Amino acid sequence: MAKLHVVYFGSNDVPVNLIKPILDEIGAEMTIRRPTNDAEVIEMGRDADGIIMHGSVPFTKEIISQLKRCKVVCRTGVGVDRMDLAAAEEYGIKICNAAGCNSIEVSEQAMGLLIAISRKLMRMNQYVRDGKWRRHTAELHAYRGRVYRIQGRTMGIVGLGHVGKQVAPRAQGMRLNVQTYDPYLDPKVAEGMGVKMVSFDELVKTSDFVSLHAPLTKQTRKMFGAAQFKAMKKTAYLINCARGGLIDTDALYDALVAGELAGAALDVTDPEPLPADHELLTLPNAFVTPHVAGSIGAEVVRLSELAVQEVERYARGEAPMYAVRQDDIERIA
């Protein structure tokens, strides 16, 4: 019987020493490949029985239809918005992700962005770097802008899933009042966490901080646009560590310029990456990091380990632990 062939797609430093012993146990071999376009994904994955995908490798219906041997595809991350889940089901391919693996890292980034944007930390850092040090002066306060105490304010979490469940207690630890919009969540879960469940409109209108932790679907794409920004408090901040497509970028820029909200802190953007000359990057009340919330050295290794373990389960005829289907992703969680 021919060995199971696993192809690892990605530009990262692959933790071969971790993955190889797992594959050896099931008599599988691994090839590392780095496609740069759809045609290369097809060509490089044609002989794969299983694929591990790191980064933003696409997985469209056209690609799926030509991978005749492939039966399992495992993401070394959570997002599957670049993968055609319906086509995967049609062609009998199991799609798996690493749900929850880096939820702590992402929640820490969300809270870090909240503090950084609301306390104007980068602006104050630049003030010092520009050779200025004038405490308690009108000049400093004008440059910094209005700053409010975080404690006692309200955080609205959109999606109380793996990451949202990590954000909530951290926000509560800062003495924020936490509420959530998640139409698929069991109310008992929120109640047990001391989190108030509200409608989407109420969350938008009453939150001082809005933190997005929803998947990107047809239903959630651009769920924050011009209407939502007009409804938000003028002192509110928007934080996104989920997917850039949840926000209408042009509408966000207009809202920030118009003062319809105080600021936005984004680890993900649409488009991604943002062009260096993008108008959003000219605004002092926009804070952008390069999609790094879930990426730290140890977790990249762990994500790869989880992915290869899913391949191992497939090879042993076992059900995957983190299978994702189209029905699963058509919700906010």
Q: Report the catalytic residues.
A: 243, 272, 291
Using CA atoms, how far residue 248 sits from 224, 226, 227, in Å, is: 6, 8, 11
Q: Rounded CA gap, 333 and 88, in Å?
A: 21
Find how far residue 122's CA is from the centre of its chain: 22
Please work out, in degrees rounded to the nearest 5, the angle formed at the alpha carbon of residue 325 by the alpha carbons of 324 and 326: 130
Residue 36 region by backbone torsions, left for phi larger than 0, else alpha for psi between -120 and 50, else beta = alpha
Instruction: Give me the DSSP letters along 93-151.
Output: -EEE--TTTTHHHHHHHHHHHHHHHHTTHHHHHHHHHTT---TT-HHHHHHH------T
Using CA atoms, how far residue 205 sits from 161, 228, 229, 323, in Å, is: 22, 8, 9, 36
The amino acid that residue 236 corresponds to is: A
Judge whether 45 and 71 are in contact, CB under 8 Å.
no
Place of tokens 């409804």: 231
Query: Residue 11, Cβ neighbours under 10 Å: how many?
Result: 12
Q: Rounded CA gap, 148 and 244, in Å?
A: 27
Residue 246, C-beta contacts closer than 8 angstroms, at least 6 positions apart: 158, 212, 214, 216, 220, 221, 222, 223, 224, 240
Find how far residue 37's CA is from the centre of its chain: 23
